[in-house]
A and B are shown apart, each in its own frame.
Chain A
Amino acid sequence: MLMQSILLALRSIARNKLRSLLTLLGVIIGVAAVIALLTIGGGAREHINAGMANMGSRLIFVFAGERPDPSAPVINEAKPLTSAHFNGLEKAIGSQAIVAAVATTSMRASFGARSVSAQVTGASENHFLQREWKLGRGRLFSPVEAESSASVCVIGSQVSKALFGQESALSARIRIGPAHCRVVGELSARGSSFSGQQDMQVYVPLGLFQTRLSGKSQIDEILINAPNQAAIEPLKAQITQEMRNLRRIGPGRNDDFQVEDMAEYIQQTNEFIGGITAFLSAIAAISLLVGGIGIMNIMLVSVTERTREIGIRMAIGARQRDILVQFLTEACVLSLLGGLTGIALGLAIAWGVTTLMGVHFAPGLADIAAITAISIAIGIVFGFFPALRGARLEPIEALRHE
């Protein structure tokens, strides 16, 4: 009986192809928009998460400045971090975790006539242990070089390409701002857009950076690599306490520095992307409502057009229920067709956009299943009233209808 109804519905839809298509535009557009947004949002989130995890998901960051407080309009000029803080933290927790310090600035790096604007980072030697760098050629700088502020550097793949083309950069002396450094290593390309900046990096020993490049003992960030997830929170508490001591912050006063971890960043980003995706999808879903009303309209037309047919069917024994099921099925098949078309369209759009953005195209099966169910539900909800109207017809009246 249901099979019969579905066949009947398909036949009736096929008979009115153009009309059905126009009716379904609302559903198609709504579903396509929702699916495209969810898929693109999911891809972007996954991409950003992967990028962040790549930087080390167990990293804890310490930097200067109060935690932004919306109720305090003035942001106090923060006392910068210095090597003293780095050394203090190193002494306190160095046995449990790798503590590293970095300072960064933008500078021109040049070799002969070629030059490129690079991100120059002064890093303590153990910073290399925290990040999963893939060394392309050469080596990283040694503890001795780091300790003695030797004039050596490790360069990112883009910098190498800009200065040396296809040739090896190893052992060449390049100029970085006022200093000359010998290239001891080349990092391999990271490729993806999110970590693109890493390919533009030049790493030098922190001491060299402070004495020759920036001329200040200032540090931008202290990074601590927790040994495991469970250690992150206790470590953060310990770091905060240690930093308060080092910076002599009296009881009751606010921290003038922040301690954050990667998990927090990832969570914040996810919440942000999730929020935007949900908001946009909700707007797109409004067009589903419009689509549903379109289906209701066309089903009312269909029931009116086929009043006589309903009368004939009732005369030969169709119950009200049979008529109801017939038209409900037709509405559901109609909206399901719209939903499936919309899913295909939405996935095509999402595929195009994710490919352009360079992020992973990973359609959510749960999203697709949910939107398919919603399409059927739209048919049931908006098809019910017209179907009921058909089922409630008096057989004699319906038969007399011209």
Chain B
Amino acid sequence: MDAESARTPLIAFEAVWRSYGAGDTQVHALAGASFDIARGSFVAVTGPSGSGKSTAMNILGALDVPTGGAYHFMGEDAGTFDKPRRADLRNRHIGFVFQGYNLLPRTTALENIELPLIYRGLPGRTRQELAEEALLQVGLEGRGHHTPNELSGGQQQRVAIARALVSEPTLLLADEPTGNLDTERSHEIMELLTALNREHGLTIVMVTHEPDIAAFAGRRIGFRDGRIAFDSATGDAASC
């Protein structure tokens, strides 16, 4: 990493808008949200329901594009990428963890974990080795051949995290990863994420409603009505 790229933040949201519909019924899910996130950060995104958190996560993960403003990822104008380029960006640099796990049903844990590597065109042997490694990393050794309906919620979320990790992403996006789990299970997942952030320098952006979960992160960004209401990194910037 040269000096230049060390200075550029991994993520730069520049007055991002995301509007749905047109005319009277137009909804602005994001209305000029701006923030930077540096490599290696662990950010918790909070805010009331409907404030645009998931919308922002979708744009961060290149699943969606802004209707206004700009989104820079690794210094590139990712908000203008076409679909194949966004698919490639997701495959190589983004790992998703969802509230509902989103594992493929009737498919074993290992096969689920392998999935991103298939689209990267890796050969079967390599895929299996990497998947086994990821399974080990999330502490699920021995469960590789179970299908999701044979695993508990916490275990399923670990498989989902392993699937996100297996492609060695630059950025891990987690939208309410503990939303479906009890407190104890939630804290285990958070310890896992914290360890990944500390030990591997993985950049994590996580949406959560729960203050105790948000407390695991090093920085908090609060959303309100599609804008940033506060940001612990810049002080309570409630100016906008």
A residues with a Cβ closer than 8 A to B are 1, 4, 15, 308-309, 311-322, 395-396, 399
- Over the window 195-207 of chain B, the binary record of Cβ atoms lying under 8 Å from chain A Cβ atoms (1 yes, 0 no) is 0000000000000
Tell me, in angstroms, the Cα distance from A317 to B83 when the chains sit together: 10
Q: Which of B88-96, B138-146, B221-229 contacts A (4 or more CB under 8 A)?
A: B88-96
Q: Among B63, B104, B118, point to the contact of A395 (Cβ < 8 A).
A: B63
Instruction: Using known A-B contacts A395-B63, A396-B64, determine if residue A317 contacts B106 with beta carbons closer than 8 Å.
Output: no
Tell me, in angstroms, the Cα distance from A255 to B116 when the chains sit together: 84
Chain A hits for B119, CB < 8 A: 313, 316-319, 322
B residues with a Cβ closer than 8 A to A are 58, 61, 63-64, 83-84, 87-88, 90-92, 96, 98, 102-104, 106, 115-116, 118-121, 163, 167
Q: Among B58, B92, B118, point to the contact of A396 (Cβ < 8 A).
A: B58
Q: Among A309, A311, A319, A399, point to the contact of B87 (Cβ < 8 A).
A: A319
With CB as the reference atom, state the residue of chain A lying closest to B173. Answer: A315
Chain A hits for B118, CB < 8 A: 1, 4
Instruction: Using known A-B contacts A1-B118, A309-B104, A312-B104, determine if residue A317 contacts B63 with beta carbons closer than 8 Å.
Output: no
Chain B hits for A320, CB < 8 A: 83-84, 87
Q: How far is the CB of A40 from chain B (nearest CB, A)?
A: 44
Chain A hits for B96, CB < 8 A: 315-316
Which 9 pairs between the two chains have the least Cβ-Cβ distance? A317-B91, A319-B87, A317-B119, A316-B116, A395-B63, A317-B90, A312-B102, A318-B119, A315-B96
Tell me, in angstroms, the Cα distance from A313 to B92 when the chains sit together: 14
By the criterion CB–CB under 8 Å, are A318 and B64 in contact?
Answer: no
By the criterion CB–CB under 8 Å, are A315 and B61 in contact?
Answer: yes
Tell me, in angstroms, the Cα distance from A310 to B76 when the chains sit together: 27
Interface of A is mostly: helix
Chain A hits for B120, CB < 8 A: 317
With CB as the reference atom, state the residue of chain B lying closest to A313. Answer: B115
Tell me, in angstroms, the Cα distance from A319 to B120 when the chains sit together: 10
By the criterion CB–CB under 8 Å, are A316 and B90 in contact?
Answer: yes
Q: Among B64, B115, B121, point to the contact of A316 (Cβ < 8 A).
A: B115
Chain A hits for B61, CB < 8 A: 315
Q: How far is the CB of A14 from chain B (nearest CB, A)?
A: 11
Tell me, in angstroms, the Cα distance from A4 to B104 when the chains sit together: 15
Tell me, in angstroms, the Cα distance from A311 to B100 when the chains sit together: 13
Chain A hits for B102, CB < 8 A: 308, 311-312, 315, 399
With CB as the reference atom, state the residue of chain B lying closest to A3. Answer: B124
Tell me, in angstroms, the Cα distance from A297 to B95 when the chains sit together: 35
By the criterion CB–CB under 8 Å, are B121 and A1 in contact?
Answer: yes
By the criterion CB–CB under 8 Å, are A314 and B58 in contact?
Answer: no
Q: How far is the CB of A397 from chain B (nearest CB, A)?
A: 10
Residue contacts A-B, CB under 8 angstroms, 20 given: A1-B118, A308-B102, A309-B104, A311-B102, A312-B104, A314-B63, A314-B90, A315-B90, A316-B91, A316-B96, A317-B87, A317-B91, A317-B120, A319-B83, A319-B87, A319-B88, A320-B83, A396-B63, A399-B98, A399-B102
Q: How far is the CB of B119 from chain A (nearest CB, A)?
A: 4
By the criterion CB–CB under 8 Å, are B84 and A319 in contact?
Answer: yes
With CB as the reference atom, state the residue of chain B lying closest to A321. Answer: B84
Chain B hits for A321, CB < 8 A: 84
